Amino acid sequence: MQTALLVRSPGPAPRPAQTRRIGTLLLTLVAGLAAADPARCGEAPADGRTPNIVLVYIDDMGYADVGPFGAKGYATPNIDRMAKEGRLFTDFYVVQAVCSASRAGLLTGCYNVRVGIQGALAHRAMHGISAGEMTLAELVKQKGYATACYGKWHLGHHPKFLPTSHGFDEYFGLPYSNDMWPLHPTAGKNFPDLPLFEGTRVVNPKLDDADQDQLTTQYTERAVKFIEKHKDRPFFVYLAHSMVHVPLHVSDRFRGKSERGLFGDVVMELDWSVGQVLDTLRKNGLDKHTLVIFTSDNGPWLSFGDHAGSAGPLREGKGTMFDGGCREPTIMWWPGKVPAGTVCRTPAMTIDILPTVAHLVGARLPDHPIDGRNIWPLIAGEPGAKGPHEAYYFYWDNQLQAVRMDQWKLHFPHGYPTLGGRPGGKGGLPAPYEQAKIGLALFDLEKDPGETTNVADEHPDVVAKIKVLADRMRADLGDSATGQKGSGVREPGRLEPGDLHFDWQPGRPNQTVPTPLPAPTAKAKK
């Protein structure tokens, strides 16, 4: 992958292997523009209708938490049907196995390191997504799409960072994680009340348990209503559920319904939500005009034991860049365009969604470099389709921890949190992690998806090749392990004096109306 490419519309320079195919495609276009398949060339179709996009982003869902990926103890009939009518992606990654970082990658088409968003932003954060980035919503806005975000945002909670400042017409949901409140199991005294937003207004400054029980229902009802309201024009819905992040909450309709306890109940309600969305599309005749993507922001938070999901055969979970942390259960659905009941085993990543959508709706990519590439040939199951990247890069914070190339994953020496074989916590309380270390290790994920057996000594050529790619990436995005600064890293957005902001503090009622940030005093400047 040529990570430092200046990606300008209509896309990155082709690699030599792709040149002939693209040349053929161009000839086809010149010869018969009117007859060309719009989904292939990114041009508006004959009826002027480009696809709607619905993106379902679950929080902290493990690889094996839904039926098509092996869930046990509860049923997910709607997600099962989605898989039967759509295409599973078995090797689909997020950029980093933690909430804000993951969402930054999803919505900008860039590694989060490039756009300066790390970790999980809380109420003290004075930064958020930069106005200079082009979000997925801003991208489809070029084509007049109606846009909505329902659920968890987590890219900054001050007005200039909220969804309605970044291309979304509507926003209803939580500004960050649902455990960032006084009822946090270990750090409650550090958090103010948890607020709920509508647009840039706080509509509930202090959620309680009963309010959290209603979140999945409310997000879903909003999404359904939005789809029905905009059925005659193109739309993009980003449905970013707060569940299955702890604390787990579910409505009475699903409480006690699964054999897997509260966790199973919560997934069953998310499955209901997916069913509501797909049924609404079918009922309104939009199923043949809508790409629906289902995935999760990171793997299971294993320290929460019976309140966490399962990564199935994959190693570790959230907070690590083993596959259990960053490889997500992913399904693509678009009847008539995405081949039903099929499986794609080629690696792909959330960064690829933005350029793929740009291709589908005929939108211009941002002028600044992005990391993602169009993966429509993989989604459409085109014969012989290949992944557009030479490799994917796995940072934790600013440390390059691993690289995936074909079936290989090379870890560079790094530390990581683990339960070390101990059971997780119970009833919503976490068990403590311990820190472990891994040295240079090469895994063959085709034979060894659990990253158990280091085969670096048997494949020195693979190790050498990945090291060259890693060095190229370090020059671009840096690496805290080697002390390198990346030349391609951009700044996040920062709160400046005069900007509207929310000053929420533990132990006092939340403001519901933002106020301008005062200029720092001389004393504070020191």
- Residue with smaller CB distance to Ca ion, 52 or 100: 100
Residue whose C-beta lies closest to Ca ion: 99
What minimum distance in Å lies between the beta carbon of 125 and Ca ion? 16
Residue 1 or 308: the one with the smaller Cβ distance to Ca ion is: 308
**Bridge-partner residues for 147, per DSSP?**
236
Binding site for Ca ion (CB under 5 A): 59-60, 99, 297-298
Q: Which of 127, 154, 241, 501 is catalytic?
A: 154
119 vs 199, beta carbon nearer Ca ion: 119
Pairing of strands 392-396, 399-405: antiparallel
With tokens 């898989």, the residue in question is 83
Nearer to Ca ion, 181 or 226 (CB): 181
Report, in this order, helix, strand and coil percent for the chain, each rounded to 5.
Answer: 30, 20, 50
Choose between 169 and 297: whose C-beta lies nearer to Ca ion.
Answer: 297
The per-residue DSSP string of 158-214 comes to SGGGSGGGTT-SEEEE-SS-TT-STT-TTTGGG--PPPEEETTEEEESS--HHHHHT
- Annotated active-site residue 344? The verdict is no
Do 222 and 203 form a contact (C-beta atoms < 8 A)?
no
Catalytic residue from among 99, 110, 149, 326: 99
User: Smaller CB distance to Ca ion: residue 99 or 402?
Assistant: 99
CB 206 within 8 A of CB 510: yes
Q: How far is the CB of 213 from Ca ion (least distance, A)?
A: 20
Nearest approach in angstroms of CB 106 to Ca ion is 11
CA distance 436 to 135: 36
The nearest distance, CB 298 to Ca ion, in angstroms, is 5
Output 200 or 418, the one with its CB closest to Ca ion: 418
* Residue 137 region by backbone torsions, left for phi larger than 0, else alpha for psi between -120 and 50, else beta: alpha
Give the position of tokens 């403001």. 511
CB of 300 to Ca ion, least distance (A): 10
Q: What is the DSSP string of 71-138?
A: --SS--HHHHHHHHHSEEEEEEE-SSSSHHHHHHHHHHSS-HHHHT--S---TT--EES-TTS--HHH
Least CB distance from residue 93 to Ca ion, whole Å? 14
Smallest gap, in angstroms, from Cβ of residue 94 to Ca ion?
Answer: 9
Examine the residue annotation and report whether 154 is marked as an active-site residue of this protein.
yes
SS3 41: helix
- Count of C-beta atoms within a 10 Å radius of residue 183: 16
Measure the CA–CA gap between 205 and 435, rounded to whole angstroms.
37
**In the numeric block, which tokens belong to residue 497?**
């004096």
Catalytic machinery residues: 99, 154
